[in-house]
Structure formats: C-alpha cells, structure tokens
Amino acid sequence: MDRFQHYIDGRFEDGDAWFQSLDPATGAPWAEMPDASAADVGRAVEAARRAFLGRDWAGLSATQRGKLLMRLADLVQAAAPRLAALETRDTGKIIRETSAQIAYVADYYRYYAGLADKIEGAHLPIDKPDMEVWLRREPVGVVAAIVPWNSQLFLSAVKLGPALAAGCTVVLKASEDGPAPLLEFARLVHEAGFPPGVVNILTGGPEAGRALSTHPAVDHIAFTGGPETARHIVRASAENLASISLELGGKSPFIVFEDADLDSAANAQVAGIFAATGQSCVAGSRHIVQRTVKEAMLTRLKAKAEAVAIGAPDRMETEVGPLCTRRQRDRIQALVDASVRAGARLVTGGQTPDRPGFYYPPTILDCTEAPDAPCLHEEAFGPVLAVTAFDTEDEALVIANGTAYGLASGVFTRSLTRAHRMIRGIRAGIVWVNTYRAVSPIAPFGGHGLSGHGREGGLAAALDYTSVKTVWLRTSDDPIPDPFVMR
C-alpha cells in the first residue's frame, strides 16, 4: 500500500497517526495518509512564521518571487500526467478531466508569477503642502489555506499563487478525502527551490482544521468548502482575528429562454451538471427553462444523460466516474428520495447502481409542480439536475434569486438586450451568457451569501493577500512647532 508524507519546514515527514484512503472506483483502501495532529499543525505554522520574517524569503524581490513561481509552473506542467493519475485514483475524478485541468493549473502559476512585481501602491494628493503620503501594499503574513478534495490542485493554485506572489507564506491543508495529489505536489514545491517554511502541506481531519484556523500566528484564512464547515472556521477565527476569504458552495441557476439555441444549451447544461460527476461548486444544478420549450429541453437532456458513458475513472472513454466518498453517494440518494416524496417527477436516473465503488447515475428531476422539493434548494454536490419552468423574464429572475447561495449562473438567449437585463438582475458572482463553466487565471470568481465572500483568480485575489501601509513623510526642514505654545 502506498504511503504519503507531510511537507513541513522544507522536510518530508511521517505522521504520528495514519488513515487509509479509499479508491472511489472500488471502495477498497489503496494508500496510507499521515493524519496531522495539532502539534504537527503548530510546527507548520511556526515554520511559516519564521520564513515570513526571515531574509531568505522576505529579502527576495517581487521579481525573484515571480521566478520561483514560474519554475513551479513548469514543474506542474511536466508532472501533470503523474498528478492527474493520482487525483483520479484518490478522488474518482475521471482522467480526461484531471489531465486537462492540471495542465491548465500551470497557467495559473504563470499568471501570478508575472503579477508578482506588478502589485502596486499609490501616491496620495494629500491636502498638506509639507507632506508626501503614499500607500504600500505589503504581504498580510501567514496564510492558512484549506481546500476540499475536488479540483484540489486548481483550488490550491488560486490561493497559493496569489499568496506567494504577494510575499506571504502558506500552510496548506489538504482534505482528508483524497489528499494524495497535493501531498505529491509538495515535491514540486521543494524542487522549485522555495525556502524552507514558505510552503507547508499537510492533511488531516477536524483536529488539524481547528488547530490551523485558531493558531495565533495565522494572519489570513482562505477556505474552500461547505457553508457548515465555514461557520466553524469563522467562529474559530475569533481566537486570532485572522482575515478570511471563503469560496463555498452554490445552487447555480441555468436559465434557458425560448429563443436560445436549445442544442447548445443542452450541451452546456450537461457539462455544467454532470462534468466532474456534479462535484463542482459552480455546477448548474437548477435548470430554469421557459415553459414553451421545457419539454423540448427535457427530451434533449434526458437523451444526453442516458447516453453518458459511466465507468472506471482511469479510462479516457469514461464521461462520468464515481463520487469521491460513500457518504456523499448516500446523501445524494437520500436527497433524491426526499425530492420524489415532495412531488418531483423522476425523469431519469435516481437509483444507486449495483456495482462496486461509489457510483451514482446522471439524474434529472422535474420539480415544476414541486417548488419545495429539496433538490431545488439544497446543494447535492453530485450529478443531480432539478428542472423548473417559468413564463416571464421577471419570474425567471425571482426563481434564480430564490436561494441563499450566489456563486454562479448561466443564461441562454439570442437577445442581447435580455442578456444585459439578466446580467444586472441575477444575484451571483459569475454570470455566463451562452456558455458555462469557463474559467481563466485572469478572471476572478467568487460569490456572496452562503457562497462566501472574497474573490479568487485575477488581480483581486492577489490584493486579498496584502495589507495597506500608509506612509507619511514631512518634507519641510523647519522645526515642528512646540504644540503647547500658543501663537
């Protein structure tokens, strides 16, 4: 059985305790992972603090930091096949997705490598003639980055890239579900030549998460995951008053108008909900379709869902693989069953298959007559699509905004004016028009409400890892008058 290690202060270390990682395609254990204790976390944070204050990192110019990130990007690109195979083995995400995504992750590190020496301050036109005042953007300090198992190399890059570009140091906690690719990624960090303690990578369960989010030397917490865990982190951060950025879940509306290219919309919807087996924070899980074309869309979606190739995640022909964990599969089945009891009509799927592993079929539920069905309101984080209908544009907006989430959204229409109205009206951090699930290192993403706050990607993310220092310089050579002598 394979065994992985923590990466702390420039060294690879065994854990004091271990846990087994299961292969989602078979349900069998395949590797042992180190289970970080509070003491392990403490050593990692202390190493990050020393590195932040030490000359080996703080003494580098922004351009030198950028060169290290560029080196890391090249190593990620070269190692993409190995990392992709590990992610597929440990999380069940299909190899055609992990291969493409990890190759693109290298571009995120390249983007932040180029941005490192372009994080600028400002000169203020102050209202005092004998003063020069300017703003410096400086690294916020030690960052606790906590990422889930899904798309973990991507979700790490949008934290690690901007944090390192800004000059921070990082303790990165991988999920206890499927941590192998991030623990392997640590070898690339080491090879790239970052000074010891600048990047530390470990994994573990709730004890490690609590220790990291409460540590007094942590200055910023960057978390991706579910709202309930986020609430624990926010409460825990009261111990150190760290700033927080949260990228949480979504219940994203995918709105189709009667004038849309229905074939294009169907293809985008299938990619938006069944790609990654639906285990994506931006999954378009609510299909909101104009009533006049609802049956036409359902026919297309049902045919595409039933034609999806379900199989072993390491085979290139597989289009939908297993879910990451048994508990997630069981939760999805319970959600689908509850929705059917609430009046939703099962269009296709909806039954756990009789096969090894954590598989669940692409599932479509028509909830038009069941507005309270749980699948319309709760994030399934799986291949479950809830369909509902609307008649008017205003009604579509009410349905789209009728959720506590606000991460992503999609609009399909040929009308440019309608598209602009919907862009203004939808409460979401991302609006895709006549496309879905497009990303770029240049474009920030994030949401509001139960979808979190703060942004990842783009310049906005790098600024989140800085604090502003105001500098006042008196330019007069005259002595400062005695403030207690009245003139």
pLDDT band at 15 (very low <50, low <70, confident <90, very high): confident
Written in H, E and C, the secondary structure of 52-96 is: HHCHHHHCCCHHHHHHHHHHHHHHHHHHHHHHHHHHHHHHCCCHH
The encoded tokens of residue 204 equal: 């573990």
Residues contacting 279, CB < 8 A, separation 6+: 93, 150, 323, 324, 328, 381, 382
Q: What is the mean pLDDT of residues 66-72?
A: 98
Q: What is the mean pLDDT of residues 210-223?
A: 97
Side-chain half-sphere exposure of 186, counting CA atoms within 13 A: 28
247 an active-site residue?
Answer: yes
Q: What is the mean pLDDT of residues 72-100?
A: 96
Distances (CA, A) of 318 to 151, 308, 381, 383, 466: 18, 8, 19, 15, 43
CATH number given to 253-433:
3.40.309.10
Instruction: Select which of 97, 247, 379, 456 is catalytic.
Output: 247
Contact 269, 254 (CB under 8 A): yes
Contact 44, 374 (CB under 8 A): no
pLDDT band at 369 (very low <50, low <70, confident <90, very high): very high
Contact 91, 211 (CB under 8 A): no
Record: fold of 2-248: Aldehyde Dehydrogenase; Chain A, domain 1 (3.40.605)
Identify the pLDDT of residue 27.
94
β-pair type (243-247, 452-453): antiparallel
Q: What is the mean pLDDT of residues 354-358?
A: 94
* Placement of tokens 């192998």 in the chain: 180
pLDDT above 90: percentage of residues in the chain: 98
Question: What is the per-residue pLDDT across 391-450, written as a single tens digit (0 to 9) for each?
Answer: 999 999 999 999 999 999 999 999 999 999 999 999 999 999 999 999 999 999 999 999
Q: What is the mean pLDDT of residues 341-348?
A: 98
Report whether pLDDT(19) > 70: yes
Rounded to whole angstroms, the Cα distance separating 9 from 146 reads 18
Written in H, E and C, the secondary structure of 98-153 is: HHHHHHHHHHHHHHHHHHHHHCCCEEECCCCCCEEEEEEEEECCEEEEECCCCCHH
Exposed/middle/buried for residue 190 (C-beta within 10 Å: 0-12, 13-18, 19+): middle
Report whether pLDDT(486) > 80: no
Q: Which of 273, 254, 263, 274 is nearest to 300 (CA)?
A: 263
Helical packing angle, 95-115 and 152-166, nearest 10°? 10
* Placement of tokens 């624990």 in the chain: 232
Q: Which of 384, 183, 140 is nearest to 285 (CA)?
A: 384
Query: What is the residue-averaged pLDDT of the chain?
Result: 96
pLDDT band at 206 (very low <50, low <70, confident <90, very high): very high
Question: What is the per-residue pLDDT across 372-387, written as a single tens digit (0 to 9) for each?
Answer: 999 999 999 999 999 9
Q: Where in the chain is the domain with CATH 3.40.605.10?
A: 2-248
Residues in the chain: 487
The whole model's pTM is what?
0.95
Report whether pLDDT(487) > 70: no
Question: What is the per-residue pLDDT across 304-326, written as a single tens digit (0 to 9) for each?
Answer: 999 999 999 999 999 999 999 99
Q: Where in the chain is the domain with CATH 3.40.309.10?
A: 253-433
Q: What is the mean pLDDT of residues 68-91?
A: 97
**For the chain, what is the total number of helices (H) and then of strands (E)?**
14, 21
